Chain A
Amino acid sequence: GENVEQHPSTLSVQEGDSAVIKCTYSDSASNYFPWYKQELGKGPQLIIDIRSNVGEKKDQRIAVTLNKTAKHFSLHITETQPEDSAVYFCAAGMEYGNKLVFGAGTILRVKS
């Protein structure tokens, strides 16, 4: 089955700097890679996703890159703000409507 590894487990950056979180997956059949942000006491919220026919996707300060050959994908947050502080999860799976396997999560702290 699918296995997703996520690094780093914690990341501390200064406000305004960039943050990068990386994930690798094992199942070459996976073709859908969402990223979720979880704040304290809340459920994970989708922030961006990418499908395997695309190499990069951007949404304002957030971007995701995918390398299918190497089976890894990354989340990039530019111009970080204190409200970006949260736990971020990557996941891999087969399109919508199928199960996702989640990474272990990254605690991001943005220091002001």
Chain B
Amino acid sequence: DAGVIQSPRHEVTEMGQEVTLRCKPISGHDYLFWYRQTMMRGLELLIYFNNNVPIDDSGMPEDRFSAKMPNASFSTLKIQPSEPRDSAVYFCASNARGANNQPQHFGDGTRLSIL
């Protein structure tokens, strides 16, 4: 089975530019999570969705960050405008709850560098 798929794997851009990260969750999973990983702050949850609806966005650092989930198989995390301090690895994870309880499965992340 295909796992969580993220694109791009690497992104290098200049500050001020818009950045869009993409995620395809595992088919059948109804929860989707966006995380950011840095040396200083570790792995922190930014936002998560259930059935395409945002449930908790308290981890989104500021208004420059936004996330959408237009359908069950696709989500985006957008940063506009980007800043050097946004440089990090961004992970997407998904899982299923209910009769088909499954733990969170992570993608391999997007390494973002803002110059």
Identify the A interface with B (CB < 8 A): 34, 36, 41-46, 49, 89, 95-105
Q: Are A97 and B95 in contact (CB under 8 A)?
A: yes
Interface size grouping (class) on chain B: 20 to 34
Identify the B interface with A (CB < 8 A): 4, 30-31, 33, 42-45, 48, 50, 56, 91, 93, 95-98, 101-109
Supply 26 A–B pairs (Cβ within 8 Å), ascending by A: A34-B103, A34-B104, A41-B108, A43-B91, A43-B93, A43-B106, A43-B107, A43-B108, A44-B43, A44-B91, A44-B106, A46-B103, A49-B103, A96-B102, A96-B103, A96-B104, A97-B30, A97-B50, A97-B96, A99-B33, A99-B56, A101-B45, A102-B42, A102-B44, A103-B42, A105-B42
Residues of B within 8 A of A100 (CB): 45, 104
A105 and B43 CA atoms in complex are apart in Å by: 9
Q: Are B48 and A95 in contact (CB under 8 A)?
A: no
Report how many A-B pairs have Cβ atoms within 8 Å: 55
A95 and B97 CA atoms in complex are apart in Å by: 9
> Could you say which of B30, B50, B104 has the most chain A C-beta atoms within 10 Å of its C-beta?
B104
